[in-house]
A and B are shown apart, each in its own frame.
Chain A
Amino acid sequence: MVTEAAVWAIFLLPLGSFVLIALVIRPFLNRWPLLAAVSTIGALTAATVLAALTLRSVILGHTAVFPTWEWLSLGGATIEMGLLVDPLTAVMLVVVTSISLLIQIYSVGYMQGDPGFARYFAYMSLFTASMLGLALSSNIVQLYAFWELVGVSSYLLIGFWHERPLAAAAAKKAFIITRIGDVGFLIAILYLFLKADDFAAAGLNAFHIPDIWQAAQPLAAGGAILAGGALTWMALGIFAGAAGKSGQFPLHAWLPDAMEGPTPVSALIHAATMVAAGVFLVARFYPVFQQSDNAMAVVALVGAFTAVMAATMGLVMNDIKRVMAYSTVSQLGYMMAALGMGAFAPAIFHLVTHAIFKALLFLGAGSVNHASGTFDMRYMGGLRRYMPATYLLVVIAALSLIGIIPLAGFWSKDEILLGAWDGNSHLAVWMNRATFISLLAGVALTAFYTVRMVMLTFYGQFRGGIEQESADAGAGGAGEEAAAVHGPAAHGPEEGEGESHQGHSAGGHSGGVHLAESPLVMVAPMAVLGVGAVVAGYVINPQWIDFLGVPVHWITGFVADGLLAATGGEGHAELPEFNWAIAGISTAAAVGGAVLGLAVYGTRLGRPEQDGRAREPLRLLGPVYTLLSQKYYVDALYEGLIVRRGFYRIFAGLMNWLDRRIVDGAVDLAGWFFRNLGSAVGRLQTGQTQAYATAVALGALLIILGFLLAS
């Protein structure tokens, strides 16, 4: 049984580390930046232990209800901060603390020598604290607060190398796009306060999350304060926030750009934890979503569409981190689709396994970058010979992502597909089928792009790394001729990315090529994640028999029971049994995609080394390739057309013109009129304040006299 103080400490330890670094270590002890790492890692070690204890306590059934602390008293309701520790939170706490801890250790090696070393660990501490606070919040305003703090930590870390224009722009883009979603979230909160009196009449608090669950239940269960169309809109508002954070279409455009941050940041924030916060948010308010079929349908369809769309873009990216970024968007789509289909527990299960193998993949990309100096896979190749450990671990993570039995990703993805197949009985049949087919197609696409990534990076001949890339960029003068070398088709798609590479190399802390395995401090955390990526799927959720003392369907049962309890039910939730047919179909899709990938990239077709860079066989797709590598022109639409031209140039420009010419112009015109009137009448235009004041006072008296006479 954990105490309240222990649970608060999970959040307060990393926060304390942030304060310590920001106020003491960076200003006064910056000569020993390693202190910052020690502070962060120490705090997270303790937090991990406490999180594990909390999980144990929840498993043992100690459903502790902690007191709340009044933060702000409004007219009609109070905002009370508190802790909500249920199975979902407990799982989330363990995932966030343990993965964050491993990534901080890795960062000691990766960030070594960076002038912002201490600042980096300060931001990482702030992020981890915010994420833990988010998971622990018992109040929707508190949750929103940490939600935004997570966003700002992400902003600070994407823009960590703020002297790089691309990093600064990507940070801004991430914050603004997620904020568009947050408008919906905030309005949902406003709506809750609108209903505060009804909540109070039922003895509930409109901001307290378990009370919101209850208010959404049907009348028979003592709820119905939130119901009907308003409930749907509120759920969709929350989903808008979730879609922003989790990079769901149409708010996905920020996530690939977020890769401008240091790679461990991408691993922790933009792959394993923060982006999963959107999934967590929907899961947190799942009892509300369950009451609205329309909201569930939107979640399912948006998730399924995102899963496929992002995967197709992942096919053609040349930047290894961008492949992984689209992969992340796609996998988050799986989780959302699962939630929309009513497969609550599989979504959380996949959140856990994905956090492990995707963090590992990103750390692998960082390790590869450490050796080659670049993130452009066209300049990699053959790295398996130089960094066997990284190679092995990335392959494990890749197989896990593809969903090959018996690795972790297989089990969780299989449960999602099973959930989609069984379907949400409240949705139309075509929605079930469309979701299932999309997710299945996504499996094949995932396998293809993952194999492509592994082949381009680790197989064939080494293609020169950052040195070759700089040479190409330098020879081409802003990359124009470099693109021309590879044929005219390359011209368009490569312009954008060419810039990006210069960004990486310009301020690169790992400049230069030194083909060797990364240091132990980086490889060891990867190895731990590698073990997880292999076994986690079966160990935390055994399928047929209890395994190592873990009962069958442990994690899915655990969180599903938690959901059942939240909606006022008792006992155990029903869980679907392993389905051989689904497993067979998904494995066939995965193997099919992988074999196709091998056929293309494992042969001479995919990697003739004579011209230094890999030739891209997918270019044969012609316009389809262009469309994909232009990201369906979504960025061009958002940034070029809507924001830059439509909003900034035309709309804001017009408003600005109106302000100066019309609104202010009227003032100047009036001033001109009176000045000339004044000089005609007499010497009123003295420029003396007293004279004006006298005139005004006289005028005022005249007005009063007028009133007096009139009345």
Chain B
Amino acid sequence: MVTEFNGLLTATVFLPAAGAVLLLLLPGTRDGKPNRAVRGAAVAVAVADLVLALLVFALFDRGEDAARFQFVDQFAWIPDVGLKASYLLAVDGLSAPLVALTGLLGLCAVLASWHIGLRVKEYFFWLLLLQSAVMGVFTSLDLLLFFLFWELELLPMYMLISIWGSGRKEYSAMKFLIFTILGSAFMLVAIVAVFLTPDVGTFNLIELSGAGAALTAAAALIPLAWLFWLFFAAFAVKLPTWPLHTWLPDAHTDAPTAASVMLAGVLLKMGGYGLLRVNVGLFPNQAEQFAWVLVVLGVVSVLYGAVVTMRQTDLKRLIAYSSVSHMGLVLLGIGSVGVGGGGLTVTGLSGAAMQLFTHGTITGLLFLAVGLVYEKAHTRYIPDLGGLAGRMPFVAAAMLIAGLASLGLPGLSGFVSELLVFLGAFRAYGWPTALAVVGIVLAAGYILWMMERAFFGPRPSTGSGERFTDLTDATLVEAAPLALMVVCIIGVGVYPALLTDVFDSALEPMIKAINGG
């Protein structure tokens, strides 16, 4: 029973998965060597999906009276067994940029896997499947389908870390899995409880968050505040927020480059997206009521994350902890809804949404660059590094641009989201926000100190002479994803309205709901 079918989103979501299955049909080896056609095909699939994702973003109608949800694909999915779940894909201004982000980072991840030699077919299978799952999370507007994609993403990431990772990879993969599954359990409870609420009986997020939503305090099966926190638990683990963050450094450090890029670039964003879509979208009053908790967690994450980042000696671990700090800004931005008195403006939420996108590109670039360093220098241990800028100027430049964006340099994308978060949150919680602003000094500290130790200064010497004398700069294939990210970072930094206008179109209705309530 098809209600509406546009097809673009279905294609965007399932193209990588279909490509993944087709990859399995290719011969794994040719003449005893790994088949190069496999990675070629994977790139082709990723490029095609990027084109689709960019189409979604470009064709999204930004007009004043455009429908909020566009490119709707909807048909009844499990209509008969009392579940009333539907297959419902659509994007609004909140998800359209994130779809584009997933497409971008998906391609970067595939390109960053150029040198994978172990079980190549399987590797790309999982990587592409992962992309489908994340696309699904950002586009499905039926809670059950959303949950399905949410869980589907786990397996590929688990495989990528535990098979192609390094260090304590099995431990880290399992830790990632258990944390997320525990979070998901809370979400499942909440989803079922929402569905079973009398007069609701639907998983449809558009209906649930629409005007006159049936999910009122009186009718709720369990108190709305409980639902809010159950959902929050799942998303907070994913984001992650302090003190649920410890899976992140382990997973990042031991994951292969491409998995780190996807993990930091898009998987964390699922947490922030969920908070905005579900916690703010479905529970505006609870969001306003509990905003102070989010702000406290956000400020602690910002500062705590930054301080711990300072102590890290592994490049990947350092970036992972900096992500904890930067994801704290998402919470801080969402916390701006606590301003009260109907005086909420879109600024803080817009900043939180922007932070999802900008952090995705910035951290993606950082991990790509570190991946190249590790591949060539065979170490990520900062005290063993030094003077890399002289040998790999392109990688160093990319790293510096990403680092400067990460510390909020104007002209680069990170500044815009930080500024919006601070502007919005300061109106609601002046002193806590002022405290979080101190984070910009700490960020400058850990980024520039990392640059100094790893990339500047003389090259370290060992007994047999100077190290790293035969390091080479990035090749064309290696440089391409870096350049792509640099363009995104500068583009959004110089002209942020490109994204904020789209984000705001989805956030304004939420603001209205909060101000009206």
Contacts and interface: CB of A to CB of B under 8 A. Distances in A.
Interface in A669-706: 671, 689, 692-693, 696-697, 699-700, 703-704
B175 A667 contact: yes
Contacts of B500: 72-73
Given A75-B345, A707-B193, A162 B457 contact: yes
A183 B445 contact: no
Most chain A Cβ neighbours within 10 Å, of B185, B422, B504: B185
B160 interface: no
Contacts of A180: 441
A176 B444 contact: yes
A149 B501 CA distance: 25
Contacts of A162: 389-390, 455-457
Given A76-B345, A163-B387, A193-B426, A187 B308 contact: no
Interface in A109-161: 141, 144-146, 148-149, 152, 155, 159
Interface in B441-455: 441, 444-445, 448-449, 451-452, 455
A74 B349 CA distance: 11
Given A75-B346, A75-B511, A652-B310, A183 B438 contact: yes
Given A186-B440, A194-B430, A703-B189, A696 B182 contact: yes
Given A194-B427, A671-B178, A144 B311 contact: no
Interface stretch (A320-328, A383-391, A655-663): A655-663
A66 interface: no
A162 B424 CA distance: 38
A653 interface: yes
B304 A655 contact: yes
A656 B246 contact: no
A72 B410 CA distance: 13
A74 B423 contact: yes
A659 B344 CA distance: 35
B336 to A, nearest CB: 10
Interface string A358-374: 00000000000000000
A700 B230 CA distance: 12
Interface string B194-229: 001000000000000000000000000110000000
B188 A700 contact: yes
B163 interface: no
B426 A176 contact: no
A169 B155 CA distance: 44
A711 interface: yes
Most chain B Cβ neighbours within 10 Å, of A146, A171, A187, A653: A187
Contact of B177 (A191, A659, A689): A689
Contact of B434 (A155, A187, A652): A187
Nearest to A167: B456
Nearest to A657: B311
Contacts, number: 171
A636 interface: no
B372 interface: no
B285 interface: no
Given A149-B409, A179-B440, A663-B246, A74 B182 contact: no
A179 B457 contact: no
A190 B433 contact: yes
Contact of B192 (A663, A692, A704): A704
Given A73-B497, A190-B433, A659-B246, A175 B188 contact: no
A175 B154 CA distance: 41
A17 to B, nearest CB: 17
A193 B416 CA distance: 15
Contacts of A648: 310-311
Nearest to A162: B456
Nearest to B177: A689
Contact of A652 (B155, B177, B181, B311): B311
Interface string B489-503: 000000111001100
A238 to B, nearest CB: 14
A187 B451 CA distance: 27
B45 to A, nearest CB: 26
Interface string A268-288: 000000000000000000000
A76 B347 contact: yes
B498 to A, nearest CB: 10
B246 A651 contact: no
B409 A168 contact: no
A10 to B, nearest CB: 18
Interface in A603-631: none
A74 B423 CA distance: 9
Given A163-B456, A696-B185, A700-B189, A707 B221 contact: yes
Interface in B467-501: 495-497, 500-501
Contacts of B347: 74-76, 193
Contacts of B410: 144-146, 148-149
A444 B247 CA distance: 62
Nearest to B458: A163
B389 to A, nearest CB: 6
A155 B456 CA distance: 13
Contacts of B304: 655, 659
Contact of B311 (A159, A653, A703, A708): A653
A653 B221 CA distance: 47
Nearest to B416: A72
B441 A71 contact: no
Interface string A551-585: 00000000000000000000000000000000000
Interface in B132-167: 151, 154-155, 158
A193 B246 contact: no
A546 interface: no
Contacts of B193: 704, 707
Nearest to B155: A689
A162 B419 CA distance: 30
A164 interface: yes
Contacts of A145: 410-411, 415
A71 B416 CA distance: 11
Most chain A Cβ neighbours within 10 Å, of B246, B304, B448: B448
Given A163-B390, A172-B448, A711-B221, A652 B308 contact: yes
A308 B108 CA distance: 56
B307 A651 contact: yes
B457 A163 contact: yes
Nearest to A687: B174
A692 B177 CA distance: 10
Given A73-B500, A149-B410, 5 more contacts: A74-B423, A162-B389, A175-B448, A656-B311, A667-B246
17 contacts: A70-B497, A74-B347, A74-B420, A144-B410, A149-B409, A162-B390, A162-B455, A168-B456, A176-B445, A651-B307, A655-B304, A671-B178, A689-B155, A693-B181, A696-B185, A699-B185, A704-B193
Going nearest first, the 6 A-B pairs with the smallest beta carbon separation are A75-B345, A145-B410, A168-B456, A75-B346, A664-B246, A656-B311
